[in-house]
Amino acid sequence: MICFVSSHTGGHLMPVLALAKRYAGHSVLLSSRIAISNQQITRSGVSFYPLTINPRRLWTILFSVVECVVRLYRLKPKVVVASGGMVCVPVLIAARVLRIPYVLLEQNVVPGRVTRWFASGAKRVFLGLPVADPAFSSAKCVGNPLFERDDSTGLVARLQTELGDKRVVLVMGGSQGAQAINDWIRAQYDWFSTLNWALVHLTGASYYAANFSDQEATFYRTPSGSVYAAILPFFDGMGDLYQLVDVVVGRAGAISLSECMAYNRPMMMVPYPHAKDDHQLHNARWASALGFGSIVLQEDLPILSEGVLTTLFEKRGSGASAIDHVGAADRIIREIDALLS
């Protein structure tokens, strides 16, 4: 039995699901109760146990330590794998109390608090992106495990037909603090009717519900009927969607960045200005130094002209192979299996 623990955010949750589904039937996921609504957990086939924890209230963390000691004692996992977020704190404390070995996954260039606090007692620390901090010189940079999601709706095939031969820019506004990106690109929808580029905009469910009436997708068409913009609340088959598009605009979270590198899709990286330790800006600077995409601060977002998009497209191939994210899950699983044996 392997116990995986993660916060409910996609940047922490997707890597553990990529690993946990490989151990389906022999793994459990611990996370905050808010993660119950995440459909990816249900589809992964991994058993889920919600924890009573509110990081803003110290007493819930103390209560959760006791809860986790009881939970781990009953589950008797051979190893705990934690990917970050305050929900990991009580689980890792419980693992130490019960002398259960644990492994840490760090996604970003700047290690998060959980990684910094618990790295000294970890059996392994796996880095998704290179960390310059000398305190992590013994950690292994293996890439970020990618949770493979194929399109089961047929929407990508429809988009291929509707968008024709145009190059496509994907704007991802469904991530943390992305309303600024959503508002910025929404003001440019009609601009795409004049370009040789088409737009696919992922808004996030709440933004879509507040601004659009069609349930699954909204299509903007020219007078002749051709689609120049497709607006989606969420898309499950990201692997298929990345293959459809040519360039990406979005936050510089480690998982989005790793996915774009894996599919060789140059990225206009817009770091979330309020990210802890400014880690998205550091992620973007690392990728930009490789020649992979460009950095644009939120207050400097440009009009997506033909020139801007073409310049981004021409960065295709630059730095994309710096880390093999596709093989990251296999490398980590080999190490976990070695610990189990």
Residue 44 neighbours by CB under 8 Å, 6+ apart: 17, 20, 21, 24, 147
On whether residue 184 sits in a domain, the answer given is: yes
**Higher-confidence position of 178 and 336:** 336
Cα–Cα distance measured from residue 267 to residue 234, given in angstroms and rounded to the nearest whole number: 19
Q: What is the pLDDT of residues 228-282, one digit of tens each?
A: 999 999 887 788 999 999 999 999 999 999 999 999 999 999 999 998 889 999 9
Neighbours of 233 (CB within 10 A): 21
Residue-range definition of the domain harbouring residue 251: 155-313
On whether residue 166 sits in a domain, the answer given is: yes
Question: Which backbone phi and psi does 168 adopt, to 5 degrees?
Answer: -125, 135
Query: Same domain for 141 and 162?
Result: no
Q: What is the pLDDT of residues 148-165, one digit of tens each?
A: 877 777 888 899 998 988
Q: How many residues does the chain have?
A: 341
pLDDT of 154 reads 84
Token pair recorded at residue 245: 């598009």
pTM of the predicted protein model: 0.92
Neighbours of 87 (CB within 10 A): 28
Query: Same domain for 169 and 62?
Result: no
CATH of the domain at 128: 3.40.50.2000
